[in-house]
Structure 1
């Protein structure tokens, strides 16, 4: 019996490259690509920081869980998730049971560089010390990322094609 092709789901902290890797991976594997944050914005018609302002982080996390459930219903896709999706146990279970989960890890220094110009990350926008915020978030979430992942790829200093090839090899494509 042929094993059904499963979704590839990218997790990791903000700035680890989930969206960039996901878009390119989808092209290479000839699959559709979805980014949970982008889909939430498309569905609600407002920016994530606005959702945080109006509904708080808890309201956003509820929307994020619903979006993950909806996307997991679609077969054979690539999904990039928000950095905090692993916070909720329900989400970790959804991730584990609905695809091949790839944790894109990265050094804090690289995350700081990659998010330096971003104006659309509410948890960083509220911070006076981005490096400390990123370090604290990573410390709080690291075990969740590792426990949820089928594959861990350290993206620090790696080129996009190298990361893609590592994932392709792991998913047998």
Structure 2
């Protein structure tokens, strides 16, 4: 029987539309863990979506993101929350790496898994969603959204690689296959 080293707290990071939420849910189901989506936590705390907060100002959003991380970590680490199934899986927002305080707290607390996605695939997914919703994400509302995205993607990709304890190809479909790939890679860490 294959053995896995399952960290008690797994943090999924990566670009927008890399499948952090769907992979996190699939992984939680696979290993009987508890799943949290940081964007949902922000909405629960503030009564506004991350997009709405970002539209009010990037710093307003970053402050909300940091507070959501702090509150989530307090919940996870509270001895009265033993009802939470372990491990805990947290899906972050695509730009968490630009929130130094928030990503530092997460890095100190959990095992970072980077869902790596090519810039082209990420852009195609963002564009597809924007065409359906009629709205690009606020951080891409620039003169040339595709160039803005590519520049952000390249910079953030390196930061995520530097942070990651494990890198998973986010092009793998469906999310359940990505979750299986995570378990496979974790099993390789057992001596």
Q: TM-score, normalised by structure 1?
A: 0.85
Aligned length: 169
How big is the alpha-carbon RMSD for the aligned residues of Structure 1 and Structure 2? 2.3
* Structure with larger Rg: 2
Unaligned runs of 5+ residues in structure 1 are: none
State the alpha-carbon separation in 2 of the partners of residues 121 and 81 from structure 1. Answer: 16
In the TM superposition, residue 6 of structure 1 has moved relative to its aligned partner by 1.3
Partner of 1:41: 43
In the TM superposition, residue 14 of structure 1 has moved relative to its aligned partner by 0.4
Stretches (4+) displaced over 6 A: none
Pairing partner for 1:166 from 175, 178, 181:
181
State the alpha-carbon separation in 2 of the partners of residues 111 and 85 from structure 1. Answer: 16
Q: TM-score, normalised by structure 2?
A: 0.78
1:60-139 equivalences under 5 Å are 60-73=61-74, 74=76, 76-116=87-127, 117-118=129-130, 119=135, 121-124=137-140, 126-127=141-142, 129-139=144-154
1:11-50 equivalences under 5 Å are 11-50=13-52
Unaligned runs of 5+ residues in structure 2 are: 78-86
The Cα offsets for residues 17-37 of structure 1, whole Å up to 9 and x where unpaired, read as 111111111111111211111
State the alpha-carbon separation in 2 of the partners of residues 64 and 122 from structure 1. Answer: 16
